[in-house]
Amino acid sequence: MRMAEPGNTDRNKQLNRSLVLNIIHKNGPITKAEISKELELTFATIGNITSELIETGAIKVTGYGQSNGGRKPALYEINWENNYVIALDVGVTKISAAIVNLKAEIHARCDVEMENSQYDLTFIERVFKAIDQLLSRTDLSHLKIIGIGVSAPGPIDEESGKLLSLPNLQEGRNVTIKQQLEQRYGLMTVLEKDANAAALAEQWFSNMQMKENILYIFADQGIGGGLIIDTRIYRGFHNGAGEIGHMSIDVDGPRCNCGNFGCLEAMASGISVIKQVKKEIRRGASSSLAEIYLQDEKQLTLDLIIQHGKNGDPLVKNVLDQTGRYLGIGVANAINFFAPSQVIFGGQMIDLYPEIVKIAERTAKPRFFSDAASRINFTNSSFGFDASLIGAAAIIQQKLFDKPENTIIK
């Protein structure tokens, strides 16, 4: 761990504050003497910082340790229930806003659908509507809100806080969402790609053991990826990392939305499942969905298709098996390059059909190059449909522990 010398400069003070907060998170309940020993900082420095953190409500005393003759020393812990985040998840079909505490517990939530009746509102007006409704339903008098975390499908510019484009919205180009939310609500706002946010949620809030290096596969209508390397989000040059959906799986495969052919997204996403089922029905495949397709093909949603697959429809089962195999091949490629300790699957496809992870795992394992890779854990997301919403809260949580002065200490 990086140590800062005790000193008077602001930078040292900020770094020390972050170190103390992190050690209390990691080892709490903990005494000042133990923090001082662990960080090799003087008892006086730790005393100043813990007093300040108590005053701001970031930590609290939760008991007393063994006395060495004098007074019993106080034990410090993070004050998880005292601090809240506004989490905002921009999805393809809806915007979700929630008030979440630092243990990822949702205190209140509000969803605004992207349906036709909303089209008189601009995108940012819909975002404001979701948050305003959320705040109007919540008694804020005893809650301390420390920031707004926003998760959204890419591409984004994380640094300037802009959504570079939005799915299904013509107006959604270069939306300065961070700036507009900060202006309206006066709270620090941080933007992150949804798959990265979902990966961060697992890192902060799940009970998994090995979560320093996570590959998060967001298998939804499209396919996204999130990467955590040594506990930090890895974004790559201009936020370009993690686009596992555009890894080539079959050079002669179907055309992808990105213009290339045979991308993982074109072969194993929710949209590709719908396309394949329709195509096979047109070709005359026998399926319990054929009648519905002929009446109104719009009714063939991913949800309905997967329901029929679970009820034993042979066409759907074949398509889902094949989809799971393609996912497994994509994941095996990523694992051979990056060797994460955990591969976590989330998104609508996984929520509706969790068994697909087993198929992907069976396909991926024989393709691992390193023997150690067979010990990599494949798991489903701990947060189901709310993975990227909880991820939005995790973004602010990480900010708090990195730079408490931007969130909790104003």
Using CB under 5 A, list all residues that contact Zn ion. Answer: 246, 256, 258, 260, 263
Beta bridge partners of 333: none
Q: Smallest gap, in angstroms, from Cβ of residue 333 to Zn ion? A: 14
Residue placing its CB nearer to Zn ion in the complex, 52 or 250: 250
Q: How many residues are recorded in the chain? A: 410
Shortest reach from residue 246's CB to Zn ion, in Å: 4
* Dist. CA 201–CA 206, nearest whole Å: 7
- Per-residue b or e along 375-396, where b marks 16 or more CB atoms closer than 10 Å to that residue's CB: ebebebbbbeebbbbbbbbbbb
119-to-110, 170, 221 alpha-carbon distances in Å: 18, 11, 22
Rounded Cα distance between 161 and 43, Å, is: 39
Q: Which is nearer to Zn ion, 33 or 258 (CB)?
A: 258
Nearer to Zn ion, 102 or 247 (CB): 247
How do strand 223-229 and strand 162-166 relate by DSSP bridges?
Answer: unpaired
Return the structure tokens found at 164: 């570079």
Whose Cβ is closer to Zn ion: residue 88's or residue 256's?
A: 256
Type of residue found at 63: G
Is 137 or 255 the residue whose CB approaches Zn ion more closely?
A: 255
* Distance of closest approach, residue 348 Cβ to Zn ion, in angstroms: 19
Closest distance of CB 256 from Zn ion, Å: 3
Least distance (Å) between residue 330 CB and Zn ion: 12
Q: Tell me, letter by letter, the H, E, C secondary structure of 163-205.
A: EEEECCEEEEEEECHHHHHHHHHCCCEEEEEHHHHHHHHHHHH
User: Distances in Å between the alpha carbon of 311 and those of 274, 287, 319?
Assistant: 17, 11, 14
H/E stretch holding 138 reads none
Using the minimum distance from each CB to Zn ion, give the nearer residue, 224 or 346.
224
- Our CB check for Zn ion shows the closer of 165 and 341 to be 165
Minimum Å gap between C-beta 319 and Zn ion is 19
Smallest separation, CB 258 to Zn ion (Å): 3
SS3 assignment, position 380? strand
